Structure formats: C-alpha cells, structure tokens
Structure 1
C-alpha cells in the first residue's frame, strides 16, 4: 500500500508542477492605501503574460462587494514610463451582468494591442465608479509588452 501512496503523491506533485507556471497572479496595489474602498479586489490575472503585440489580451479582476451594484462605470488608464498613453471609460454592466449581487464577482476586460506598441513596462489604473460617480475601488498594476508581435518570433541563429 505504501508504494501506491508514494506513486500517487509523485503523480500529484507532477501535475501541480505542470499547472503552477500557468497560474500567475499579478501583484496590484490600491491607488490610495489609506482609503477603505466599498469594492475590494482579491486578484488580477493577465492573459497572456507578458502581453504579445497584435494579439488580444485579457485582464481579469476578481473582487468582492458587500452591497449589490446596480450599475456604474469602469475607467481604465495606461501609462508607459509614467506617460499616459491610453484611457477609456466604459459601462460597468458591459463587462458584467447587472445588477451585481453582494459577494464575489469578476470583471473581464479584453484589448487588442496594436503591433506598433513599444515593448516594455506599463502601468494600468482601473477605477470602478457607481452611477453617482463615487469611486468604489481603484487599483494599479504593472504589465509588460513583449518584443515580438504574434506573427513574429525570435530568430534562430
């Protein structure tokens, strides 16, 4: 019996090692670390990471609210080395089904990055506001754009 248990443990560890690299949470911080936001963010995932120019990328924000959300807006700003390069404001209910009941929910946002986007480090600021423009949450996180487009790749030498 002991042999079967150790073999099962080895198989389980192997699968964990295979899955672990694909599970990559992105570090984030609140815009104002002293503010108590009504919507608390629990995680950020970027797919693919690093982002590939010319390919659609997704940002998945996991959050929690203790009060239902009936609507509002999502404000996104992107900075490249501190310079604002992109901003967008959209309807919260375009990203999730409203009303959002109290509890856990996710906001998914996808964007096709142009192939002319310069490679390097970027910072994304995401704000969620209610229908009265009250800020429900605000987070910032960094992401990278790789050097190649989806149709390019490193050249073999």
Structure 2
C-alpha cells in the first residue's frame, strides 16, 4: 500500500457513521450584479447522512446570459484552496437540465444528491462560487460551508 495514513483515515471515516452537520449558505452578490433578489437555501438543514440534500437558488436575472463561467474556490482545514473554473452553460445543462441562453427574468435552480459520509472527512468546509456572463460581469456570488464533526 502506497499511503497507509490515507487508508487509516478513510477506514476511520467509513466506520464512524455518527456525523453531525452544521451548514450555512448565503449570497455574496454585489448590489450591481445581474441577479437580484437572490435567495439560497438547502434542505434538510442540517443534512442527514444517507438522505438526499437539495440546494436551491432563486432570483431575478436582469439580462439574458448567453455564456459564462463559474469560478469556485473551496477550503478544507489547512489544505491549499481548491480553485476551479467551469463553463456555466455546461453546468447549467448538466445540473438543472436547462440551456443557454438563459433569458432575463425569474429563475429557480436546484440540485440534489445523496449524502454519503464514507467519502467525507470531518472538519470545516467553506467556499465561494461566482458566476459571470459572456461579458465577464458578475451574475451571482454564493458562499457557504459546513462544519462536520463525528
């Protein structure tokens, strides 16, 4: 085995089914962003291991979005931050079965997944996601995190 420490950590995590979650999510959208009246939520809160967790985003898009990017920065304990950039239209079609262009007006996004603690390490998780449009203008910014103990 190449990394016995990793194996031990994963074994401990897999055997410990008594995780507790304290999670939060909110908008960090600037006042002049292209999405207004932003509401972000997930349920159930706190999440329950082995059950589905759903995240929702509601708001009003002021201008049509034909393309864009999603900038994600995630933090876990003292590890270097994970920084990734994704194509907005690809994620939109994959996550919510919607397509670009996204017309101006009220929008509702949701995404659900099952929570499996066998792949989660206890600790503090946090991050931000910023969506920009084809002109690199901010559409919306979201931030959130979870404290996972077990």
What range describes the TM-score normalised by the shorter chain of this pair? 0.5 to 0.7
Asked whether the 8 Å contact 2:34–2:137 carries over to 1, the reply is no
Q: 1:71 to 1:82 in 2, by over 3 A?
A: farther
2: distance between equivalents of 1:51 and 1:58? 9
Q: 1:85 to 1:116 in 2, by over 3 A?
A: farther
Mark the runs of 5 or more structure 1 residues left unpaired by the alignment. 1-25, 148-157
Equivalent residue number for residue 143 of structure 2: 140
Mark the runs of 5 or more structure 2 residues left unpaired by the alignment. 1-23, 93-97
In structure 2, the residue corresponding to 1:28 is in which secondary structure?
strand
Q: 1:31 to 1:67 in 2, by over 3 A?
A: closer
Q: 1:86 to 1:47 in 2, by over 3 A?
A: farther
Q: CA deviation at 1:67?
A: 0.9
Considering only CA atoms, is the larger Rg found in Structure 1 or Structure 2?
Answer: 1
1: distance between equivalents of 2:77 and 2:37? 24
**For 1:123, which of 119, 123, 126 is the aligned residue?**
126
Equivalent residue number for residue 97 of structure 1: 99
2: distance between equivalents of 1:54 and 1:103? 35
Q: How does 1:18-97 map to 2 (within 5 A)?
A: 27-30=25-28, 35-40=31-36, 42-52=38-48, 57-81=53-77, 85-93=81-89, 94-95=91-92, 96-97=98-99
In structure 1, the residue corresponding to 2:118 is in which secondary structure?
coil
1: distance between equivalents of 2:50 and 2:72? 20
| Alignment deviations for residues 132-155 of structure 1 (CA, whole Å, 9 cap, x no partner) | 4333222222334463xxxxxxxx
Aligned residues: 121
2: distance between equivalents of 1:53 and 1:84? 27
Q: Root-mean-square deviation (CA), in Å?
A: 3.4
Which has the higher relative contact order, 1 or 2, with Cα contacts under 8 A spaced 6 or more apart?
2
1: distance between equivalents of 2:53 and 2:83? 16
Q: 1:67 to 1:74 in 2, by over 3 A?
A: same
